[in-house]
Amino acid sequence: MKILNDLLALTGVSGDEANTAKFINDYVEKRKNSWKVLPKIYSGEKFHDCILLKFGNPDIAVFAHIDTIGFMSRYYNQLIPVGGPEVIPGTKIIGEDSLGEIRCQVQGDEEGIYHDFPRGVDTGTYFSFEQNVRIDEDFIQAAYLDNRIGVYNALKQCETIENGWIVFSTYEEHGGGSMPFLLRFIQETAPITKALVSDITWITDGVKHHEGVVISIRDRLIPRRSFLNRVLDLAKESEIPFQLEVEESGGSDGREIQFSPYAIDWCFIGAAEGNVHSPDEKVSLSDIDSMISLYNYLLANL
Amino acid sequence: MKILNDLLALTGVSGDEANTAKFINDYVEKRKNSWKVLPKIYSGEKFHDCILLKFGNPDIAVFAHIDTIGFMSRYYNQLIPVGGPEVIPGTKIIGEDSLGEIRCQVQGDEEGIYHDFPRGVDTGTYFSFEQNVRIDEDFIQAAYLDNRIGVYNALKQCETIENGWIVFSTYEEHGGGSMPFLLRFIQETAPITKALVSDITWITDGVKHHEGVVISIRDRLIPRRSFLNRVLDLAKESEIPFQLEVEESGGSDGREIQFSPYAIDWCFIGAAEGNVHSPDEKVSLSDIDSMISLYNYLLANL
Amino acid sequence: MKILNDLLALTGVSGDEANTAKFINDYVEKRKNSWKVLPKIYSGEKFHDCILLKFGNPDIAVFAHIDTIGFMSRYYNQLIPVGGPEVIPGTKIIGEDSLGEIRCQVQGDEEGIYHDFPRGVDTGTYFSFEQNVRIDEDFIQAAYLDNRIGVYNALKQCETIENGWIVFSTYEEHGGGSMPFLLRFIQETAPITKALVSDITWITDGVKHHEGVVISIRDRLIPRRSFLNRVLDLAKESEIPFQLEVEESGGSDGREIQFSPYAIDWCFIGAAEGNVHSPDEKVSLSDIDSMISLYNYLLANL
């Protein structure tokens, strides 16, 4: 899990993913020759801060978003959210502006958020939760497990995938915006009919730690049932632990697949976390294992 | 109206339209040789559960969504809505899970919806209103007139249309998602500049039963006025009864035409119903006649 | 500023932009031979009420929306908003229906808006604020500075631009809908990687009159930071007065660029106004000068 630790050390709030993209690009370059299939890599300015890896002859893609939630400084000492961060007074946040590095605390509540840095901060400065990774026998706890674990899973799949796209998207936490051009590029390059969204979901009254990776029957949107049934049949066949989710709200990169001008089936599959969008996101290690195993099985068999 | 009765007997909540699609496909196969023009049929896995019929050389399309509202089981005995069903305690609903058929009642309110089936129900099971079709001299009353009547109208137009697409879409009740790929397919196959949305609207303080099919000047979205004026001129010329609608909210497949990457004019034209999204939807028979007649006139003259 | 005065005399609520489009088209035809580069003009029914001007070999586009907010008559004496107009009882509005010209007042509040015209008005009649242009040494005050100033700026850029698209869009005030087809047409004709949104923003506690054109770091959506940094570097280099905006809400044609199926960077740049969406919108004349100068600089150097 060294790579997961490295990913957790990066900041990269929605709109500012360049450094995270560079890290993933470097990692891919270093590792790609050890993978079962050598991918064709699409990245760079033409793809903004996204990265696409094409393995073999794809009919499926895995999407993992590389951005995180955070804050942005407004005027005076005001902050406004990027994505939907939990606003917990006293939370330590970090940023950098023209005068140097910044470490301070969040104050206020969702009606009005402030930072307590003693000097003025440049308007438009991004802030991230200060990272604090804690691992014990059962759990990993840190900021930004959503979606560093989804990215970690996607990178693990690179080792064994034979046919498929592994795609790193941006902006997911703040309404999206990269998926439409990624999907167009995919459909014009090596089209797919199926997609899996490698992302993190929520512990709820029906989804619990240690009970396996979550296959989402729906969040705010509803994947096509006939596709979902095929996923569920394979999941049962695999004997990998999994649990089902049915939620009324929430969304993912699946949203932009649903509304894309292509008939692509999609399904959200990912481990569940507690303390969502806080610096203390918490995920079961065995659920991460199930996630990686199930993607492995589905990419070979779906 | 046998075909309308058959359509009303089907269940097919958004995301689970496979059976309804199969029924329409079978109907088209059986009837197509009796139609004025033999259509080219596009359906099957590549089109998910949508069906496109191309007649002659189209410049116009009619869209009718085949999905319905309903409920889905969450955890324990919880239900969550699919689309926006009325939640009326005691309403009879039907579904089917791995243990067999289910018939029970809706309980609770929009803050928390439950079913009262005595055993546990599989997570993610779809529920529909139990059907009860009532026809008298003036009205039809049933669940799912929205949009079985729109589908019925579309199938009636198949009998006489010479040039145009007749298209059966999915997911309309739950935010959409099939229109973008249908529109792309149409524009790449035999492009259109005009579209009519064959769907059901609402009785309001300005829209009344028996006063004719409704031409919608706007709902949440606003069609282009210069196109609307052409539709209204033809409607007047036709001498078919129609009434005008101006609403601030509500939407249809027109939404995804408006936001599509093609310059396609659109207009919503359909009969109005009372008791919207309940098991007791009620539509005037003469308004259905006006709807069919006006589509007939517009498809020949617009 | 004669052309700005002429633009302010036009009505053209979202969905009803045909007259405004005709005015701009005529202006372009009259002036184009005096411009540094002769543009290729795309307009007419195929482009609905939008106009695209292609100068040289574009890699950038300027978008200015030509529609305005307003009202539409519903039933009886009800009005519903088009876009988000301020509802101030007593505000004078004008319209025209089958019986002739209408001049009356807005009554009520956002819960229920009415007009006080003595006779009944055709359902679906558009209303605009009555225009009253006031110019002094420092300010212009009028209805619809948003976005007649953005259009004025775009027309001024036509005089000197060598390579780029100048594009007049519709429907921006009411949720959009023309940008997707405009972007597709641009990308298939002479593709771009950069876009500037020529529109008007708001005076806030961090944005003030006379302090220069506003470069928006974010509204509800967030442009890519690496592109924004290039814009800011050039703005500093230009020595033209500008100020920064960071807002949590609000949107522009930039939204549809963000969600388009193309990797196009975008940034909102425009003067700020007080009394937003009222008949008394107020903009600093020097901020308009800064806006025109900065666009000029960026179109030559970005």
SS3 B137: coil
Q: Which among C225, C226, C246 has the least Cβ separation from residue A123? A: C246
B158 and B271 together in one domain: yes
C257 and C189 together in one domain: yes
Predicted pLDDT of residue A1:
82
Give the pLDDT confidence of A71-105 residue by residue, as tens digits.
Answer: 999 999 999 999 999 999 999 999 999 999 999 99
Q: Are A220 and A249 in contact (CB under 8 A)?
A: yes
Chain center to CA of B23: 15
Residue A46 main-chain phi, psi, to 5 deg: -60, -25
Which domain-ending residue is among C129, C145, C165? C129
Q: Does A82 touch chain C (CB under 8 A)?
A: yes
Q: In total, how many domains does chain B have? A: 2
Structure tokens at A269: 């599959």
Structure tokens at A254: 């699946």
Residues C110 and C87: their CA atoms lie apart, in Å, by 6
Beta bridge partners of B126: B72
Q: Does A80 touch chain C (CB under 8 A)?
A: yes
Q: Which of B179, B233, B259 to mutate to test the interface with C (most CBs of C within 10 A)?
A: B259
A123 and A201 together in one domain: no
Contacts of C244 in chain A (CB under 8 A): 123-124
B219 and B154 together in one domain: yes
Percentage of chain B modeled with pLDDT above 90: 99
Residues C200 and C140: their CA atoms lie apart, in Å, by 13
**Residue A5 clears pLDDT 90, i.e. is over it:** yes
Q: Are B282 and B149 in contact (CB under 8 A)?
A: no
Contact residues for B188 (Cβ-Cβ < 8 A; gap 6+): none
B235 and B183 together in one domain: yes
**Residue B45 clears pLDDT 90, i.e. is over it:** yes
SS3 B245: strand
A77 and A53 together in one domain: no
Which of A218, A214, A219 has the alpha carbon at shortest distance from A284? A214
Cβ contact B75–A259 (<8 Å): no
Q: Does B85 touch chain A (CB under 8 A)?
A: no
Q: How far is B188 from chain C (nearest CA, A)?
A: 13
Percentage of chain A modeled with pLDDT above 90: 99
Beta bridge partners of A53: A41, A166
For tokens 């770091």, what's the residue? C217
Cβ contact B261–C181 (<8 Å): yes
Q: Does A124 touch chain C (CB under 8 A)?
A: yes
Q: How far apart are the first and last CA of chain A?
A: 27
Residues B1 and B7: their CA atoms lie apart, in Å, by 10
Residues C39 and C28: their CA atoms lie apart, in Å, by 9
Contacts of C178 in chain B (CB under 8 A): 263
Beta bridge partners of A176: none
Q: Which of B43, B71, B75, B187 to mutate to test the interface with A (most CBs of A within 10 A)?
A: B75
**Residue B1 clears pLDDT 90, i.e. is over it:** no
Domain that holds residue C292: 2-68+134-301
Predicted pLDDT of residue C110:
82
B222 and B103 together in one domain: no
Which of B153, B214, B163, B218 has the alpha carbon at shortest distance from B193? B163
SS3 A235: helix
Structure tokens at A229: 């049934």
Beta bridge partners of C78: C114
Q: How far is A87 from chain B (nearest CA, A)?
A: 25
Residues B217 and B201: their CA atoms lie apart, in Å, by 12
For tokens 């703005």, what's the residue? C235
**Residue A160 clears pLDDT 90, i.e. is over it:** yes
Cβ contact C223–A16 (<8 Å): no
Q: How far apart are the first and last CA of chain C?
A: 27
Cβ contact C75–B265 (<8 Å): no
What confidence category does residue A267 fall into, taking pLDDT thresholds of 50, 70 and 90?
very high
Contacts of C176 in chain B (CB under 8 A): 259
Predicted pLDDT of residue B110:
82
Which of C175, C189, C48, C18 has the alpha carbon at shortest distance from B264? C48
Q: Does A246 touch chain B (CB under 8 A)?
A: yes
Digit-by-digit pLDDT tens for chain C (302 residues) are: 899 999 999 999 999 999 999 999 999 999 999 999 999 999 999 999 999 999 999 999 999 999 999 999 999 999 999 999 999 999 999 999 999 999 999 999 988 999 999 999 999 999 999 999 999 999 999 999 999 999 999 999 999 999 999 999 999 999 999 999 999 999 999 999 999 999 999 999 999 999 999 999 999 999 999 999 999 999 999 999 999 999 999 999 999 999 999 999 999 999 999 999 999 999 999 999 999 999 999 999 99
Q: Which among B217, B222, B244 has the least Cβ separation from residue C174? A: B222
Give the pLDDT mean for B61-86. 97
B-chain residue closest to C182, CA distance: B261
Residues B267 and B244: their CA atoms lie apart, in Å, by 12
Is 0.90 topped by the overall pTM?
Answer: yes
Q: Are A177 and A72 in contact (CB under 8 A)?
A: no
C79 and C52 together in one domain: no
Predicted pLDDT of residue B8:
98
Q: Does A75 touch chain C (CB under 8 A)?
A: yes
Contacts of A184 in chain C (CB under 8 A): 261-262
Structure tokens at C255: 């939204």
Q: What is the DSSP string of A33-70?
A: GGSSSPPEEE-SGGGTT-EEEEESS-SEEEEEE--B-E
Average pLDDT, rounded, for chain A: 97
Count Cβ atoms within 10 A of the Cβ of residue B96 and give its class: 0-12 exposed, 13-18 middle, 19 or more buried: middle
Which of A69, A13, A89 has the alpha carbon at shortest distance from A276? A69
Interface confidence, given as ipTM, is: 0.96
Structure tokens at B246: 């101006």
B234 and B147 together in one domain: yes
Q: Are C181 and C188 in contact (CB under 8 A)?
A: no
Residue C34 main-chain phi, psi, to 5 deg: -90, -5
B176 and B294 together in one domain: yes
SS3 C22: helix
SS3 B31: helix
Q: Are C269 and C240 in contact (CB under 8 A)?
A: no
Q: What angle do CA C149, C155, C160 make, to 5 degrees?
A: 130
Residue C218 main-chain phi, psi, to 5 deg: -170, 155
Which of B26, B29, B67, B55 has the alpha carbon at shortest distance from B178? B67
Q: What angle do CA A285, A290, A292 make, to 5 degrees?
A: 95
Q: Which among B18, B72, B260 has the least Cβ separation from residue A226? A: B18
Which domain-ending residue is among A129, A150, A168? A129
Q: Which CATH number is B282's domain given?
A: 3.40.630.10
What confidence category does residue A207 fall into, taking pLDDT thresholds of 50, 70 and 90?
very high
B24 and B108 together in one domain: no
Q: How far is B150 from chain A (nearest CA, A)?
A: 22
Helix (H) or strand (E) holding C235: helix C225-238
Q: Which among C221, C246, C258 has the least Cβ separation from residue A124? A: C246
Q: Which CATH number is A105's domain given?
A: 2.40.30.40
For tokens 């990998």, what's the residue? A240
Q: Does B108 touch chain A (CB under 8 A)?
A: no
Q: How far is B38 from chain A (nearest CA, A)?
A: 26
Q: How far is C263 from chain A (nearest CA, A)?
A: 6
C168 and C255 together in one domain: yes
Structure tokens at B176: 């959409």
Within 13 Å and on the Cβ side, how many CA atoms surround C241? 15
Do β-strands B139-142 and B281-284 pair in parallel, antiparallel, or remain unpaired? antiparallel
Neighbours of chain A (3+ CB pairs under 8 A): B, C
Q: Which of B181, B188, B255, B264 to mutate to test the interface with A (most CBs of A within 10 A)?
A: B181
Which domain-ending residue is among C114, C129, C144? C129
State the virtual CA torsion across C140, C142, C146, C152 in degrees, nearest 10. Answer: -60
Chain center to CA of C21: 13
Residues C158 and C292: their CA atoms lie apart, in Å, by 11
